[in-house]
């Protein structure tokens, strides 16, 4: 065990300068939200916060309560009569860096567009209620968010004399789905929609996520050795999990903040999911030209797989622990289920949960599912965080009424409401990356109604980030195809 710890410390010392500021990864969502932001540059002059009075409940005319929703504008490139580009906020704080950088800004420069970004209700600084109690979270839904967009677009369009202009919506990840659904539900308000990395198919059990992770890891320069080493490390963990001495060993090897309780099925599941999440997060954002809270994007699939395949670094288990040490930034790893549930039960906007974890988990428990489970043996991470684990989380955080039956009913309604992969709307572009696990719930084939762009070798929302000299040609081509499609919509 001492050798394992020594190897972990060595790897951490060598690779720590490369680390991005990754947060806790849960339900496919890092701490900041699923869409990152372009790296912050000193030359940026970011726009100020602006506020829009919004209804709390768009579907109850008797409820007159209102709240202030945050938005940003950039009219630098606009000329009268030009289009309006509307960026949709999602399950994290809206970052004003997007107002001055990103592919859509390059499109705006060419097309003289007016840029607007609207923050999603219950995220960032857009607080519709005094706290995030379960009673208040009933006003958090994709339907309410779409109604926010519709009301905002209508009123702001009139106030800023942009109501006769052609509007196009943009979004990535969950906001990518919102962008497509906005075009579906309010086609008179936007002439087209860019829906990047959009998981439009709600699905309770999502084991396909890990099979894409497996396939993506196999594209590393060490090939199948990466998955083979993860599988061997997982097998070793399974053996250690059989006795108390093994729990103590795992606590030390992975530098856990509190002792691992191998007799608790939820603690065990949370531990396995936490250490697997290191690979899930890096795969999801592999080589994306983005910045997480000021970090870089130098930790890639190759970085992790080089560690897993390097026999000189010790056993497969020691290498697995070294990956965890690398991505924990030298801090202890919090894998306690009880601690995680306690944090997620916090209802204050100032709590750790207020960053977005409580809100997004609520949406998965009521609308989407999206649970990345081990309910398939076609992946190397074991069988220890099945669907039942995620359902238990819903019940423990929000109450017994948030169970499998109600969760599945919410998923069914979402697909009935929006159409899932059978969405029936024109003038939408669905870009997806082959490395990104979320493409398994997205649209990757074009029809007569909409276009799909499947970008080989790219990850989550890659086409949204600023162009880079390191971009593969297929990514550059995808951005050009999106631009050409927008110009076509504007010419109609």
Can you spell out the DSSP letters for 364-417? Answer: IIIIIEEE----SSSSSS-S-S-HHHHHHHHHHHH-TTSSHHHHHHHHHHHHHH
Residue 369 CB-half CA count within 13 A: 29
Q: Which of 27, 127, 439, 460 is catalytic?
A: 460
Q: From CA 73, how far away is CA 85, in angstroms rounded?
A: 10
Active site residue 460: yes
The CATH architecture to which 2-35+211-411 belongs is: Up-down Bundle (1.20)
Q: Where are the beta strands (DSSP E) in 101-220?
A: 114-118, 167-172, 192-196, 203-205
Contact assessment for residue 293 and residue 279, using Cβ atoms and an 8 Å cutoff? no
Residue 184 CB contacts under 8 Å (≥ 6 apart), including other chains = 418, 419, 423, 424, 425
Q: Give per-residue burial for 259-288: e unless 16+ CB within 10 Å, then b.
A: ebbbeeebbbbbbbbbbbbbbbbbbbbbbb
Query: Boundaries of CATH 3.40.50.1820 in the chain?
Result: 50-203+420-491
> Quick check: 155 and 371 in contact, CB under 8 A?
no
**Which part of the chain has CATH 1.20.120.980?**
2-35+211-411
DSSP 93: P
Bridge partners (DSSP) of residue 291 are 37
Query: Structure tokens of 164?
Result: 């006769």
Class of domain 50-203+420-491: alpha beta
Render each residue's pLDDT in the chain as its tens digit; 492 residues. Answer: 444 444 443 443 334 333 333 346 666 666 667 777 777 676 778 999 999 999 999 999 999 999 999 999 999 999 999 999 999 999 999 999 999 999 999 999 999 999 999 999 999 999 999 999 999 999 999 999 999 999 999 999 999 999 999 999 999 999 999 999 999 999 999 999 999 999 999 999 999 999 999 999 999 999 999 999 999 999 999 999 999 999 999 999 999 999 999 999 999 999 999 999 999 999 999 988 654 443 345 899 999 999 999 999 999 999 999 999 999 888 999 999 999 999 999 999 998 877 899 999 999 999 999 999 999 999 999 999 999 999 999 999 999 999 999 999 999 999 999 999 999 999 999 999 999 999 999 999 999 999 999 999 999 999 999 998 989 999 999 999 999 999 999 999
Residue with tokens 């109450």: 399
Is 173 a catalytic site residue? yes
Phi, psi values for residue 310, rounded to 5°: -85, 100
Q: List beta partners, residue 333.
A: 256
> Is 127 within 8 Å of 350 (Cβ atoms)?
no
Q: What span, in angstroms and rounded, lies between the C-alpha atoms of 326 and 126?
A: 34
* pLDDT tens, residue by residue, 405-425: 999 999 999 999 999 999 999
Rounded CA gap, 62 and 25, in Å? 40
Q: What angle do CA 99, 105, 110 make, to 5 degrees?
A: 145
Cα Rg of the chain (Å, integer): 22
Q: Give the Cα separation of 100 and 115 in Å (integer).
A: 9
Q: Is 351 among the residues known to form the active site?
A: no
* Contacts of residue 118, Cβ cutoff 8 Å, sequence gap at least 6: 52, 69, 70, 71, 86, 87, 88, 89, 94, 148, 149, 152
The residue written with tokens 């009075």 in the block is 53
- Cβ atoms of 113 and 190 closer than 8 Å: no
- Measured in whole angstroms, how far is the alpha carbon of residue 263 from the centre of its chain? 32
Output phi, psi for 169, to 5 deg.
-95, 150
Q: Which residue in the list 32, 436, 439, 471 is annotated as catalytic?
A: 436
Q: Choosing from 173, 179, 324, 328, which is the catalytic residue?
A: 173
> Three-state SS for 203?
strand
In 167-269 the beta strands, taken as DSSP E runs, fall at 167-172, 192-196, 203-205
| C-alpha–C-alpha distance, residues 358 and 344, integer Å | 5
Is residue 74 within 8 A of residue 47, CB to CB? The reply is: yes
Do residues 71 and 99 lie in contact, with contact meaning Cβ atoms separated by under 8 Å?
no
- Dist. CA 341–CA 449, nearest whole Å: 43
Which of 463, 353, 466, 365 has its CA nearest to residue 410? 365
């Amino acid at each position: 065990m001492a050798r394992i710890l020594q190897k972990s410390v060595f790897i951490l010392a060598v690779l720590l300068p490369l680390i991005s500021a990754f947060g806790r990864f849960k339900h496919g969502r890092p701490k900041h939200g699923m869409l990152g932001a372009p790296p912050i540059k000193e030359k940026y002059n970011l726009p100020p916060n602006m506020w829009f009075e919004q209804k709390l409940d768009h579907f109850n005319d008797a409820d007159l309560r209102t709240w202030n929703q945050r938005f940003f504008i950039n009219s630098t490139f606009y000329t009268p009569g030009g289009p309006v580009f509307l960026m949709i906020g999602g399950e994290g704080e809206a970052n004003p860096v997007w107002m001055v950088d990103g592919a859509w800004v390059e499109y705006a420069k060419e097309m003289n567009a007016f840029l607007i970004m609207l923050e999603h209700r219950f995220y960032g600084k857009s607080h519709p209620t005094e706290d995030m109690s379960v009673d208040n979270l009933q006003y958090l839904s994709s339907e309410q968010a779409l109604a926010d967009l519709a009301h905002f677009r209508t009123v702001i369009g009139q106030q800023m004399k942009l109501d006769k202009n052609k509007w196009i919506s943009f979004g990535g990840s969950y906001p990518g789905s919102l962008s497509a659904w906005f075009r579906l539900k309010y086609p008179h308000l936007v002439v087209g929609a860019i829906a990047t990395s959009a998981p439009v198919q709600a699905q309770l059990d999502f084991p396909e996520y890990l099979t894409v992770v497996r396939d993506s890891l196999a594209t590393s320069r060490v090939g199948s050795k990466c998955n083979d080493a993860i599988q061997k490390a997982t097998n070793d963990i399974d053996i250690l999990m059989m006795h108390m001495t093994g729990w103590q060993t795992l606590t030390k090897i992975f530098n856990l903040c509190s002792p691992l309780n191998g007799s608790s099925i939820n603690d065990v599941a949370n531990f396995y999911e936490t250490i697997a999440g290191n690979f899930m997060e890096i795969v999801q954002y592999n080589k994306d030209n983005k910045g997480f809270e000021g970090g870089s994007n130098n930790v890639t699939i190759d970085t992790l797989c080089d560690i897993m395949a390097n026999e000189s670094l010790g056993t497969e288990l020691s290498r697995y622990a070294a990956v965890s040490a690398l991505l924990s930034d030298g801090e202890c790893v919090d894998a306690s289920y009880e601690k995680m549930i306690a944090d997620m039960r916090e209802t204050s906007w100032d709590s750790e949960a207020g960053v977005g974890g409580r809100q997004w988990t609520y949406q998965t428990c009521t609308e989407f599912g999206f649970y990345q489970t081990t309910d398939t043996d076609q992946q190397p991470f074991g069988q220890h965080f099945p669907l039942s684990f995620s359902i238990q989380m819903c019940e423990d955080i929000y109450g017994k009424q948030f169970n499998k039956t109600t969760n599945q009913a919410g998923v069914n309604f979402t697909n009935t409401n929006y159409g899932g992969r059978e969405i029936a709307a024109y003038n939408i572009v669905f870009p997806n990356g082959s490395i990104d696990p979320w493409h398994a719930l997205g649209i990757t084939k074009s029809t007569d109604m909409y276009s799909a762009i499947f970008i080989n070798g790219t990850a989550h929302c890659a086409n949204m980030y600023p162009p880079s000299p390191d971009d593969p040609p297929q990514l550059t081509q995808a951005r050009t195809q999106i631009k050409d499609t927008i110009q076509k919509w504007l010419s109609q």
